[in-house]
Amino acid sequence: MNGLALLLSTIAVLATVGVKVQGDDLAVARKRTVRVATFNVSLNRREAGELREDLSKGSQQAGQVATILRTVRPDVVLLNEFDYDESGEALRVFQQQYLEADLGNDSIAPLKYPHSFTALVNTGVPSGVDFNNDGKTDGPTDALGFGWFPGQYGMVILSRFPIDRNGVRTFRRLLWKDLPAAAVPVDPESGKRWYSSVAWNTLPLSSKSHWDVPVIIDGQRLHLLAAHPTPPAFDGPEDRNGRRNHDEIRLWAEYISLGDKPWLRDDKGVVGGLPPGRSFVIFGDLNADPVDGDSHNTAINQLLQHPRVNGDFAPQSAGAVAAATAQGRANLRHKGSSQYDTGDFSDRVVGNLRIDYVLPSNDLTIAKGAVFWPAPGDNHADIANCSDHHLVWLDLDLAVDE
């Protein structure tokens, strides 16, 4: 074999084992598969500190949540509705006593996350303003986000990968009024804006918070865009919660869109959205079904149909189909396929919906994914109702060059 033939033969062999050729150099090209998940764990309590106490004493619900996490074993996971406490004790106990504890069962081995991020959210933070027009200013509906105490329904990100803490951006203080062409609630009877001037100049857009948390995976940066918009319910014909949900989802659509956005200011005062070319995952309980439910103007399509989002893959489960069939009632009126449902709600009024999402940027390849909702009789079906939501996960292939 002559020299040229030998070189071509070598290149062909290298290509078959995941090596790419760049000019005169041979560079190893490999894929890193990362499992990203979101789970509304319903670990919220009525009073501040109550979750910490429950976890310390031993919580069956938290044990079931941990079993699901230890079974799916995501590399990165967002926990919605995990009450925030400034000391971080509740999260520490959950990790040490529930996720990391050795249960003597190899099938659910300990799960350790060396990196985490959590911060104060708007839920339960007193505003001193009457947001629901009932003449009072001290109820849970008058908080910056619905809640009985500051930090209720909080958020936590757990990660196997380091977090670039200097690159974290939060948007808890961004006012709804600052969003251009906001979906302003209007009283249909009077035709006037629902919120008073004082309320409209006080109300933040985010009912909890919006976080951009970058993690570093083999030298690559992945932006975790986490949020938990308010449900589009529990209001009146003015649809104030439905419109806020729509615009909370729109905030991420604006954040990943190109163009100058001088109004888009984070809590540190930094202006602008996510630069082009950045890889990201939008995840969380977004409280918006693409077909059914009470979403304002099909809110989730702002992301599912966004040109920078890979929104074609819809995770599914056999358990969701079985639940919709067995429960019937409102589920029978739904137009969407039950296999994509992630939340199990009142069968009389709402039915089950697809409201929890893991949505990667379109430069990431989805290898597989599912909703953790076992069918009756399957393994762990007995603990799947520890929350009214079910964990959603995707395996994403990240290209890594060495």
The neighbouring-strand residues paired with 223 are 214, 280
Instruction: Give a yes or no: residue 221 inside a domain.
Output: yes
Q: Round to whole Å and give the CA distance between 311 and 343.
A: 19
* pTM of the shown model: 0.92
Instruction: Give a yes or no: residue 6 inside a domain.
Output: no
Closest among 270, 283, 275, 280 to 166, alpha carbons compared: 270
Each residue of 278-336: pLDDT tens digit? Answer: 999 999 999 999 999 999 989 999 999 999 999 999 999 999 999 999 999 999 999 99
Region of poorest pLDDT, from 159-173, 176-190, 358-372, 387-401: 387-401
Half-sphere exposure of 45 (CA within 13 A, CB side): 16
The answer on pLDDT for 10 being more than 80 is: no
DSSP 3-state assignment of 11?
helix
Confidence (pLDDT) at 20: 35
Q: Which domain holds residue 67?
A: 38-401
Confidence (pLDDT) at 25: 39
- Confidence tier at 376 by pLDDT (50, 70, 90): very high
State both tokens at 290.
Answer: 């693409």
Q: Round to whole Å and give the CA distance between 21 and 358.
A: 34
Instruction: Give a yes or no: residue 348 inside a domain.
Output: yes
* Virtual torsion, Cα 40, 46, 47, 51, nearest 10 deg: -40
Each residue of 183-216: pLDDT tens digit? Answer: 999 999 999 999 999 999 999 999 999 999 999 9
Is residue 354 within 8 Å of residue 290, measured between CB atoms? yes
CA triple 245-297-242, angle to 5 deg: 30
Each residue of 36-58: pLDDT tens digit? Answer: 999 999 999 999 999 999 999 99
Instruction: Give a yes or no: residue 265 inside a domain.
Output: yes
Cβ-in-10-Å burial (0-12, 13-18, 19+) of 309 comes to buried
State both tokens at 57.
Answer: 């004493």
Helix ranges, 184-311 (H): 197-200, 240-255, 301-304
Is residue 373 within 8 Å of residue 364, measured between CB atoms? no
Confidence (pLDDT) at 110: 95
Closest among 395, 297, 353 to 73, alpha carbons compared: 395
Radius of gyration of the chain (CA): 23
Instruction: Give a yes or no: residue 125 inside a domain.
Output: yes
The answer on pLDDT for 12 being more than 50 is: no
Closest among 294, 189, 287 to 238, alpha carbons compared: 189
The whole-number average pLDDT for the span 365-377 is 97
Confidence (pLDDT) at 378: 95
Confidence (pLDDT) at 6: 38
Confidence (pLDDT) at 400: 72
Confidence (pLDDT) at 383: 96
- Confidence tier at 106 by pLDDT (50, 70, 90): low
Instruction: Give a yes or no: residue 250 inside a domain.
Output: yes
Is residue 281 within 8 Å of residue 36, measured between CB atoms? yes
The whole-number average pLDDT for the span 253-274 is 97
The answer on pLDDT for 107 being more than 90 is: no
Confidence (pLDDT) at 196: 97
Instruction: Give a yes or no: residue 15 inside a domain.
Output: no
| CATH number (domain holding residue 379) | 3.60.10.10
Alpha-carbon distances, residue 54 vs 61, 62, 112, 217 (angstroms) = 10, 9, 21, 34
Instruction: Give a yes or no: residue 186 inside a domain.
Output: yes
User: Structural domain tally of the chain?
Assistant: 1
DSSP 3-state assignment of 263?
coil
Each residue of 13-39: pLDDT tens digit? Answer: 333 333 333 433 334 557 899 999 999
Confidence (pLDDT) at 30: 75
